[in-house]
Amino acid sequence: MPTTLAIALLLVASPLIAADIVAIGPVQASVQAQGDQEVSLPELRWVVHAPRDVWGTSVTFTSGPFIHTQHPQYRVDCRLHLRLLQAAGPSQWQVGAASDATNLLRNDPAAVVTASSTGHGAAMLGLRATFIPPPGDQVPAGDYVTQVVGLVTGI
């Protein structure tokens, strides 16, 4: 039985200050994995817009580990990687935390990556998730999924 990896994104916008985030392409991705090697899912692209009435925008993406859909006790670490693909307008965009991973052996259940801007303008961000099996361990075949939550707020 092959191993299938999937990622789904949930976006949350701050109700207090307007800022927009829009997906470019799908908000879900999946791949087939073979063996016990790291596997990166396709990059998901997002456009983030900081409107004129804010000092800037902050974007945080958080993920837990990949979880086996039939046997949730099987969990595999997940690494998130965020990069700035393009910026427009007078805002200065920067990636604060470009890469982070869960570490189940060290009781670290969350991977968190961030980007922010000063001033108004837009940016295109690329977000990628990687399935990281433990070294030397056999990962049970099946379907694994992780959910990434994106929080965008105006500053």
Mean pLDDT to the nearest integer, 111-119: 93
Higher-pLDDT residue of 2 and 81 is: 81
Q: Given a cut of 60, is residue 13 above it in pLDDT?
A: no
Gyration radius (Cα) of the chain, Å:
16
Statement: residue 16 has pLDDT above 50: no
Task: Determine if the pTM surpasses 0.75.
Answer: yes
| pLDDT value at residue 127 | 93
Q: Are 80 and 100 in contact (CB under 8 A)?
A: yes
- Burial of 38 per CB tally in 10 Å (0-12, 13-18, 19+): exposed
Per-residue pLDDT, averaged over 53-72, amounts to 88
